[in-house]
Chains A and B, each alone.
Chain A
Amino acid sequence: MRLLRRNAVVLVGCAALAYLLVPNLVVLLFSFNKPAGRFNYTWRTFSTDAWTDPCSVAGMCNALGLSLRIAALATLIATAFGTFAAFALARYRFRGKSTTNALIFLPMAMPEVVMGASLGTLFLNTRVEFGFMTILIAHVMFCLSFVVVAVKARVMSMDPRLEEAARDLYAGPFQTFWRVTLPLAAPGIASGAMLSFALSFDDFIITQFNAGPSTVTFPMFVWGAAQRGVPVQVNVIGSAMFGLALVIVLAGQLVTGRRGKP
């Protein structure tokens, strides 16, 4: 009993962790199901059909490809622009800095419906045709802030003496930036890029307001399928994403762990 009380925190923590992970396990489990009707909600028989032929559902892999393309492009643009902005905010003093900080913070502190609906209203009023471009614009918009925050945190914690040392050793500004500053900032830039890829790939609310009828991203496909009955292949994609990302993250942990803690 004493042991139980002393470890109450651990017990509750593990229960919370289970709460977080159980849906992923259910998704994995039901990716091996062979449902009888349209709905994949009750377990019937084990089958690997969905895994061997994931693209057999009409439209799903197209949507997946579109989401990947948008996420890659949005990440590229948001990471570049966000990194510039992060350097400006972390390294310089200038007029309007606090306003800029607020401008960059605001998109993170606003409900997605509000952002989605207002950008959609702008596109409607200016008669921009909804589609790939409007989705891309929206995704860059909400990814920017996250990149800026991630890169800024890293740049702020960098030791400016390392760059001074490089200059003392007669490195030119370009050389200093390329050989010292950028490698130091790289982990922040990488985590910003990963975050924006994940956010863009997974976004549904803002996308729904800015996609128009004919452009279907993967989350929009899942949303549509939820009304008609979700095919097992959706579970396959979900589980595959989970496994792939887990492997990447754990590999990254191993690599940084072996290099030794900074």
Chain B
Amino acid sequence: MTAVAAPPPGGPASDAPPDTGREPGTAGSESGGRRSRRGLTPYWLLLPAGLWLAVFFVAPLFYQASTSVQSGSLEEGFRVTWQFSNYTDALGTYGEHFLRSFGYAAVATALCLLIGYPLAYMIAVRAGRWRNLLLVLVIAPFFTSFLIRTLAWKTILSDGGPVVAALSSLHILDVTGWLGLTGDDRVLATPLAVVCGLTYNFLPFMILPLYSSLERMDTSLLEAARDLYATPATTFRKVTFPLSLPGVVAGTLLTFIPASGDYINAQLLGSPNEQMVGNAIQKQFLNVLDYPTAAAMSFLLMALILIMVSGYLRKAGTEELV
């Protein structure tokens, strides 16, 4: 932050290539060529990245907005007819997919927090000299393509495999079956498998922010709490957890947002009964070629996520973030 307050004169990067060629154009205003050049340096530096994002990220969103109110077919072409029924139709047909997406994503996020917190805490507070090795092991699964890893869950959870046999003999499948998460004594092609895959795929996105906020925590506060006769549970509730809140907020967002748009886990580990909204968008866009509906659905998905996230951030307190 301090570096921003006092930009070094003639900044270190002022000799970056985009700056030089266009000098005459900026010197047109007679108020001292050198000063105006220095003032423009950040804009030249930002130009390539900014232009790229404007053309290939922002413009597509506008295109999509216009596509979402078009009607027509692939043969006769699509035209903007302000057909807002695309939205209501999408909600009517795929409302269940939306609900399922947010439901699965919420459960997966909660599970990630439950599983990820102890691991992040262990690495940040208890690991000592093993810390770096453990961090490598957390990131390590990333090194194998995630589609391959997701397919590995198919092997792990296969019918008659050791995992299903163990869960069955421990009567866990009876419980999950009663909850509607599994059925017929199998895990694959059930909601449980999809949630398991989602949790697995997004767990590192929860662990890393949690770790970075826990690592910054002053451990002498924990000792102080103990000296003041706080039980471990109280220490956690009153000291550790509040201090890790920025990590919790960042981690839940990094898990929930991509999980609610994911369609890979539902496709590979679920059955047609577990399809999420991502599957529906993908099908409309790539198979049915009904671009207006696909656009309306992805716009709805984005809007709903934005609403939920802003509500959540207001509740969690944004001022503690960043």
Binding site for B on A (CB under 8 A): 8-10, 12-17, 19-24, 26-27, 30, 40-42, 80-82, 84-85, 87-94, 100, 103-104, 106-107, 109-115, 117-122, 124-125, 137-138, 140-141, 144-145, 148, 155-156, 158, 160, 163-164, 167, 173-174, 176-177, 180-181, 198, 201-202, 204-205, 208-209, 218-219, 222-223, 226, 230, 234-235, 237-239, 241-242, 244-246, 249-250, 253, 257
Is B140 among interface residues, defined by CB-CB distance under 8 A?
yes
Number of interface residues of B (CB under 8 A): 98
Select the stretch in B27-35, B55-63, B82-90 that faces chain A: B55-63
Q: A111 to B302, Cβ gap below 8 A?
A: yes
Flag B260-304 by CB within 8 Å of A: 1 or 0 each.
111110001000000001100110011000010011001101100
Inter-subunit contact B203/A20 (CB<8 Å): yes
Contact between B64 and A118, CB atoms less than 8 A apart: yes
Chain B facing A: main interface SS: helix
Expressed in whole angstroms, the Cα–Cα distance for A249 and B132 within the complex equals: 11
Residues of A within 8 A of B228 (CB): none
- How far, in angstroms, from A9 to B52 measured CA to CA in the complex? 45
B132 and A253 within 8 A (CB): yes
Main secondary structure of the interface of A (DSSP, over half): helix
Cross-chain contact A242 with B143 (CB below 8 angstroms): yes
Whole-angstrom distance between the Cβ of B223 and the nearest chain A Cβ: 15
User: A113 and B301: CB pair below 8 A?
Assistant: yes
- Would B143 and A246 count as touching, CB distance under 8 A? yes
Partner of A16, one of B11, B119, B291, B309: B119
7 pairs, CB–CB < 8 Å, chain A vs chain B:
A14-B122, A85-B45, A111-B302, A115-B60, A121-B67, A122-B64, A160-B3
Chain A positions within 8 Å of B262 at CB level:
111-113, 205
Q: How far is B126's CA from A8's CA once the two chains are assembled, in angstroms?
A: 12
Interface pair B53/A84, CB less than 8 Å apart:
no
**Most chain-A Cβ atoms within 10 A of its Cβ — which of B49, B122, B150, B151?**
B49
B41 and A92 within 8 A (CB): yes
In the complex formed, the residue of A with least CB distance to B152 is A23
Contacts known (A12-B118, A94-B42, A164-B8); A226 close to B147, Cβ less than 8 A: yes
Instruction: Check if B56 sits within 8 Å of A141, measured CB to CB.
Output: yes
Instruction: Give CA–CA (A111, B278) in the complex, Å.
Output: 9
- Report how far A218 CA is from B144 CA in the complex, Å: 12
Contacts of B242 in A (CB 8 A): none
Mask of B111-145 contacts with A, CB within 8 angstroms, 1/0:
00001101101110010000011101111111111
Cβ of A121 and Cβ of B41 under 8 Å apart?
A: no
Q: Give chain B residues whose Cβ lies under 8 Å from the Cβ of A125.
A: 63, 67
